[in-house]
Amino acid sequence: MSLTCKDLLSIHDLSTSEVYEILELSRELKQKQQQGIEHHVLKGKTLGMIFQKSSTRTRVSFEVGMWQLGGMALFLSANDLQIGRGEPVRDTARVLSRYVDGVMIRTFSHAEVEELAHYASIPIINGLTDLLHPCQALADIFTVVEHKGNLKGLKMAYIGDGNNMANALLHICAKVGMDITVATPAGYEPDKRMVAQAQADAGQSGSRITITNQPLAAAEGADVLYTDVWASMGQEAEQMARRRVFADFQINSQTLAIANKGAIVLHCLPAHRGEEITNDVIEGPQSVVFDEAENRLHVQKAIMALLMGGRR
């Protein structure tokens, strides 16, 4: 099987059945890797990886994942590409379509990724934009499945900045019927258009979406606690001001005490310990952040297999 959409730019573009198709194939590929079973479903294929933002997990997981699928990956820095010197995105899209079998791009502007997908004849995967981080959110929900066994009816509390991560988590929870409460300081709420898209999906799945400025109220009764850095890449100049604004939006022992017993803690990493999350929580028994980080590899392999080669 393969996805009906050519690209993965946003989870909102996927059907609920396609989300579960990705999760199921992620499980199968993870099992095969753990058992040492070869799974070269993309043998002879090449992934171009465009990076306009630095990365640890995205680069390593896509590059290793492509190799494990039997293909190869090319690291394409914006400093090395003509796109970084003013070549139109549409030209880069049409040229790369004749060289490689798919492109993963990690950049600032979501509109740039949409333009790349519009003009490319090959699959485009959103590795992160300032608006959305779909691959991470799919890995997050796969981690929840592994630790909780189900999704529908669970509650996620996202506490922190209403950034690309919050937007993507709204999308994925709405698709699978998982309740989500996003707690941010006033003025830092998620993108209104992304909230509206999630609410539309939630109407079909039964997910309950809440946006609040009360972090402890959000954590009450949560099965999953999630946070991200207070200042994302490109916001470094705001870091000191954001520390003051976000001081109460931290996952700590008090937050854990309010959540459901056995709640798991997620963080997309890198973490600023002592800011959005305390060291005792991220290193504690309820933290599954390193399982979550590993699952980027397995989920992205499933995404590439479905988009670039179909499923065997």
97, 134, 167 from 179: Cα distances, Å: 39, 18, 14
Q: To the nearest 10°, report the CA torsion of 36, 285, 159, 302.
A: 10
Asked if 136 is an active-site residue, the reply is yes
Which residue range(s) make up the domain with 168? 134-292
* Beta bridge pairs of residue 51: 77, 106
CB count within 10 Å of CB 253 equals: 10
pTM, two decimal places: 0.96
In this model, does residue 311 exceed pLDDT 50?
A: no
173: annotated active-site residue: no
Q: What percent of the chain has pLDDT over 90?
A: 89
Of the residues 133, 242, 267, 298, which is catalytic? 133
Same domain membership, residue 304 and residue 264 = no
In the numeric block, the tokens 């090449």 are attached to 46
In terms of domains, do 22 and 115 share one? yes
> Do 144 and 204 have their domain in common?
yes
In a domain, 9, yes or no: no
pLDDT above 50 (res 57):
yes
125 and 147 part of one domain: no
CB hemisphere CA count around 256 (13 angstroms): 16
Output the six-digit token pair for 22.
């990705």
Ramachandran region, residue 133 (left: φ > 0; alpha: ψ -120 to 50; beta: rest): beta
What mean pLDDT is predicted for residues 84-105?
Answer: 93
241 plus 268 within the same structural domain: yes
Q: What's the token pair of residue 308?
A: 């670039």
Average pLDDT over residues 186-214: 97
**Is 24 part of a structural domain of the chain?**
yes
pLDDT score recorded for residue 152: 92
The total number of residues written for the chain in this structure: 312
**pLDDT value at position 1?**
52
**Mean pLDDT score, 118-126:** 98
Residue positions forming the annotated binding site for L-ornithine:
164, 228, 232-233
Is the domain of 68 the same as that of 97? Answer: yes
In which band, very low, low, confident or very high, does the pLDDT at 310 lie, cut at 50, 70 and 90?
Answer: low
Domain count, the chain: 2
CA 188/CA 228 separation, integer angstroms:
13
Residue 84 is predicted with a pLDDT of: 64
**Catalytic-residue membership of 228:** yes
Which pLDDT value is given to residue 312? 41
Q: At 84, which amino acid appears?
A: G
DSSP state of 74: E
Q: Is 242 a catalytic residue?
A: no
**254 in the same domain as 231:** yes
For residue 218, what pLDDT is reported? 98
User: What's the half-sphere exposure (Cβ side, CA atoms, 13 Å) at 98?
Assistant: 4
Question: Pick the catalytic residue: 12, 52, 106, 298?
Answer: 106
Q: Residues 300, 282: one domain? A: no
Tell me: the pLDDT tens digits for 209-260?
999 999 999 999 999 999 999 987 777 778 889 999 999 999 999 999 999 9
Catalytic residue among 110, 140, 268, 298: 268
Query: Is the same domain home to 57 and 178?
Result: no
Using a 10 angstrom Cβ sphere, with 0-12 exposed, 13-18 middle and 19 or more buried, the burial of residue 127 is: buried
How confident is the model at residue 43, as a pLDDT? 97
What's the mean per-residue pLDDT of the chain?
A: 95
CA angle 51, 46, 302 (to 5 degrees): 85
Instruction: Indicate if 281 and 302 belong to the same structural domain.
Output: no
Identify the H or E element spanning 213: none
Instruction: Tell whether the model's pLDDT for residue 270 goes beyond 50.
Output: yes
Domain identity same for 285 and 170: yes
Beta bridge partners of 212: 183
| Structural domain includes residue 3 | no
Q: Domain containing 281 — which CATH number? A: 3.40.50.1370
Q: In whole angstroms, what separates CA 145 from the centre of its chain? A: 15
On whether both 151 and 119 belong to a single domain, the answer is no
Which residue positions form the known binding site?
Answer: 55-58, 82, 106, 133-136, 164, 228, 232-233, 268-269, 296
